[in-house]
Amino acid sequence: MSDGAVLHVRGRVLVGPEEVRDELWVVDGRVAFDRPAGARDVRTVTGWVLPGLVDAHCHVGLDAHGAVDAATSEKQAVTDRDAGTLLIRDAGSAADTRWIDDREDLPRIIRAGRHIARTRRYIRNYAHEIEPGDLAAYVRAEARRGDGWVKLVGDWIDRDRGDLAACWPGDALAEAIAAAHEEGARVTAHCFAAESLPDLLAAGIDCIEHATGLTEELIPVFAERGVAIVPTLVNIATFPQLAAGGEAKFPAWSAHMRRLHERRYDTVGAAHEAGVPVFVGTDAGGSLAHGLVADEVAELVRAGLTPAEALSAASWGARRWLGRPGLEEGAPADLVVFDEDPRADVRVLADPRLVVLRGRPVA
């Protein structure tokens, strides 16, 4: 759009789960609900409007082997953007993607810095691999480098045990999470199994990624303390394939991964029903493709969230949780337009008509 141009969006503007307006205006890159005086060069589009979608677990700058170059990172970010994802919580990346902040045509990224893992207990080339005595210092450093988040690897396969096992002792976690909170950062952790969760809860963890190990005993504690989960169900769908690949060497681990996969919908559904905050994340950028946010929303519906609740987990609620505005007067105009009501059928999210980022149509 040219300077001075105004975008007029008519139809049903889904400002929130219960608040619907008939139109909005995009003026100088920002949202307005009243027609601007003297508006000229007006472009009008119609449809169902949502705030820019959120992927709260996405790795721009990363692939299956580690950090990628800027050109690859750009392609990843563009793929997410064109799918309607305009806000990303990058839950750990070995690449420096700060340059994306200077690009008006790429999504906003909230960074958690680099993963922090136990030595030889995570994917090669992904993480700072350290021992417990250094955990607090690394967490403090990543808290200062990131955008209000730090990412721990809470559990991974222990080759001696042949199964998933917690990576950190409770005292090291308590010191490290306290250090992050002192720096004004929240802490999230990759966790598949149940074993790592009690110590993380006791230490004051803010969020758990994947959370396949949640149990009936732990779910009420998560709900009481407001500890969020980002289930990444499109990633959990790969567990049977992973289990098959490791069965000959680690049969106990393989069986464990299959059990976690089999109960994935029940786990997420029980957590949501108990009041645990649930948000959309795809885990794109490792072995998974980017642009899968619509698939993850559909997975949450399969797990028992209503369409409106699953939409909130990828839009209104997720933006509020991450401290970013939605469709508010004067807010940056990051929005997605659809032909049909996504509250009636979340599959609509897979086919946006128009994506507007910082007030400019980009896809």
Residue-wise burial string across 263-285, b where 16 or more C-beta atoms lie within 10 A, e elsewhere: ebbebbbbbbeeebbbbbbbbbb
| Overall pTM surpassing 0.75 (yes/no) | yes
Q: Give Cα 40 to chain centroid, integer Å.
A: 38
Q: What is the pLDDT along the chain (363 residues), one digit of tens a residue?
A: 445 689 999 999 999 988 999 999 999 999 999 988 877 778 999 999 999 999 999 999 999 999 999 999 999 999 999 999 999 999 999 999 999 999 999 999 999 999 999 999 999 999 999 999 999 999 999 999 999 999 999 999 999 999 999 999 999 999 999 999 999 999 999 999 999 999 999 999 999 999 999 999 999 999 999 999 999 999 999 999 999 999 999 999 999 999 999 999 999 999 999 999 999 999 999 889 999 999 999 999 999 999 999 999 999 999 999 999 999 999 999 999 999 999 999 999 999 999 999 999 998
CA neighbours closer than 13 Å in the CB half-sphere of residue 287: 10
Outline which parts of the chain fall under CATH 2.30.40.10.
5-51+326-361
Say whether 340 sits in a helix, a strand or coil: coil
Outline which parts of the chain fall under CATH 3.20.20.140.
53-322
User: Angle 239-246/251-262 helices, nearest 10 degrees?
Assistant: 170
Assigned fold of 5-51+326-361: Urease, subunit C; domain 1 (2.30.40)
Assigned fold of 53-322: TIM Barrel (3.20.20)
